Amino acid sequence: MKIMVAIKRVVDYAVKIRVKSDKSGVETTNVKMSMNPFCEIALEEALKLKESGFGSEVIAVSMGPVQCVDTLRTGLAMGADRAIHVDTPPTLNPLSVAKILKALVHLENPGLLILGKQAIDDDCNQTGQMVAGLLNWPQGTFASKVVLDKEKKVATVDREVDGGLETLCLDLPAVITTDLRLNQPRYATLPNIMKAKSKPIKKMTPQELNVELRSDMEVIQVTEPPKRKAGVVLSSVDELIDKLKNEAHVI
């Protein structure tokens, strides 16, 4: 069974985000970019499933400009077998990504499509759900545990929901999106980084996949959140209660 993993290239989580001066978006020039942390978890899970005998091949896919190839190389160094880069403009809405993923699924026929639950740049949390809808596949979102049964061709997925854990049984093929506690992604070792250089990355266009990219949404403007005021040290509980009552008006 092939396992496909969607990997997004985003501004590194440790970078302090700056908004462009024309408020058209977030500054990405000369900014460190990395694999979306939830996509690292998705890839780690695919690799673990393959290592425990449930997968024949792990295919990493990414959509975006040519620099996505660097992120895919990281995925190959972590252990993916091959990669597909679909060359698109830098900003894509989740529906466009989902349509491309659907076309890639039809091309490769994986038994499992694993995505991050959310990209930390747009915080959409939509792509996994949309692609599952487009494919008419069952979905296990926010997975914190995944167990596959090869014989019965089902995946049992624990999901973190308000108030506890929900356990779902999904018929394969299925879509899974990964939550933070699913696993601890591995680092790419130097020998694996060297090996990854000879692993194949196929380049495709949306046209080759018969996907028309259409944006039905426009970003009006991006602004920074208001600056937080500095904190103050109070001398007594009475002073705190007074401030909560008379300044913050919360009690």
Per CB under 6 A, residues contacting ligand AMP are 6-8, 36, 38-39, 42, 62-64, 92, 94, 97, 115-116, 118-119, 122, 124-128
Q: How far is the CB of 57 from ligand AMP (least distance, A)?
A: 18
Neighbours of 67 (CB within 10 A): 13
Residue 134 vs 153, nearer CB to ligand AMP: 134
Among all residues, whose Cβ is closest to ligand AMP?
A: 116
Residue 50 vs 99, nearer CB to ligand AMP: 99
Q: How far is the CB of 229 from ligand AMP (least distance, A)?
A: 31
Residue 67 vs 167, nearer CB to ligand AMP: 67
Q: How far is the CB of 92 from ligand AMP (least distance, A)?
A: 5
Residue 3 vs 92, nearer CB to ligand AMP: 92
CA dist., res. 148 & res. 164, Å (int): 22
Q: What is the 3-state secondary structure (H, E, C) of 7-46?
A: CCEEECCCCCCCECCCCCCECCCCCCEEECHHHHHHHHHH
Residue 150 vs 202, nearer CB to ligand AMP: 202
Joined together, the tokens standing for residue 45 give 């899970």
CA dist., res. 242 & res. 213, Å (int): 57
Q: How far is the CB of 246 from ligand AMP (least distance, A)?
A: 42
Residue with tokens 């890639």: 104
Q: 206 — phi, psi (to 5°)?
A: -60, -35
Q: Is 150 exposed, middle or buried (0-12, 13-18, 19+ CB in 10 A)?
A: exposed
Q: How far is the CB of 128 from ligand AMP (least distance, A)?
A: 6
Residue 124 vs 154, nearer CB to ligand AMP: 124
Q: How far is the CB of 237 from ligand AMP (least distance, A)?
A: 43
What is the separation of C-alpha 141 from the centre of its chain, rounded to a whole number of angstroms?
12
Q: For the residues of 113-163, what is the DSSP string, one character each?
A: EEEES--TTT----HHHHHHHHHT--EEEEEEEEEEETTTTEEEEEEEETT
